[in-house]
Amino acid sequence: SQTIHQWPATLVQPVGSPLSLECTVEGTSNPNLYWYRQAAGRGLQLLFYSVGIGQISSEVPQNLSASRPQDRQFILSSKKLLLSDSGFYLCAWSVLLGPNEQFFGPGTRLTVL
Amino acid sequence: DAKTTQPPSMDCAEGRAANLPCNHSTISGNEYVYWYRQIHSQGPQYIIHGLKNNETNEMASLIITEDRKSSTLILPHATLRDTAVYYCIVRGGTPLVFGKGTRLSVIA
């Protein structure tokens, strides 16, 4: 069966520090991968998605970047965190980009102080 | 992509059916209707999706009107664990984009 992992589960970082969140998927090949962010009291915002190694689509211009160095690994990064980067970061995967189920990871709760 | 409209909140008595409406009047022919839910501090969970026929699975039923301009998610016997934010999403071949959803509170 397929599983999706995210780490760390929680993170507290000072403003201006770098960030690296990792997401890995097991049990499937060539998944589509997604990063979402949910700010406190707000909806889920799609940040990036990837249909293959090295292929990244950005949905919203921001202080973050994403990379896919391996087929089942998706990394979210920032060189300098802002207060507004605080939120709940969710990674997801799907078999297809089209009409099919997206499976979400457990999330990383980031607090920038 | 078509926009969806959902009520911000609803209450449902435990054991009764919860009927969650969604309007998507601008849906196009190749777009599906998806339903997800998010329990507090967890990632969204897939519930069901459909194109034009009604669908049923172990979690819920999805009723889509004949003109496809609206749909209803039915939880046949709501329990306290069904308290969550429910998202109706209309999408074709692109990633899912979540709106504000409906906050369903199941009351004992």
Asked if the Cβ–Cβ distance from B45 to A101 is below 8 Å, we say no
Asked if the Cβ–Cβ distance from B98 to A36 is below 8 Å, we say yes
Q: Do residues B18 and B74 lie in contact, with contact meaning Cβ atoms separated by under 8 Å?
A: yes
Interface contact B98, partner A, CB < 8 A: yes
Q: Which two tokens stand for residue A105?
A: 């990871």
Point out the residue among B38, B97, B100 whose CB comes nearest to the CB of A46: B97
Point out the residue among B41, B51, B98 whose CB comes nearest to the CB of A44: B98
Tens-binned pLDDT, residue by residue, of chain A (113 aa): 889 999 999 999 999 999 999 999 999 989 999 999 998 877 888 999 999 999 999 887 678 999 999 999 999 999 999 999 999 999 999 987 666 788 999 999 999 99
Residues B11-63: tens digit of each pLDDT: 999 999 999 999 999 998 889 999 999 998 889 999 999 999 899 999 999 99
Interface contact B103, partner A, CB < 8 A: no
B window 5-64, beta carbon within 8 A of A: 32, 34, 38, 41-46, 49, 51
3-state secondary structure of A46: strand
Q: Could you give the angle at the alpha carbon of B61 between the alpha carbons of B60 and B64, nearest 5°?
A: 145
Asked if the Cβ–Cβ distance from B46 to A101 is below 8 Å, we say yes
Asked if the Cβ–Cβ distance from B41 to A103 is below 8 Å, we say no
DSSP state letter for A79: S
Q: Residue A40: what are its φ and ψ, rounded to 5°? A: -55, 125
**Res. B3 pLDDT band, cuts 50 70 90:** confident
The pLDDT assigned to B2 comes to 63
Q: Are strands B32-38 and B45-50 parallel, antiparallel or unpaired?
A: antiparallel
Residue B106 and residue B20: Cα distance in Å, rounded? 12
H or E element: which one contains A36?
strand A32-38
Residue B11 and residue A85: Cα distance in Å, rounded? 33
Radius of gyration of chain B (CA): 13
Q: Which residues of A touch B37 (CB under 8 A)?
A: none
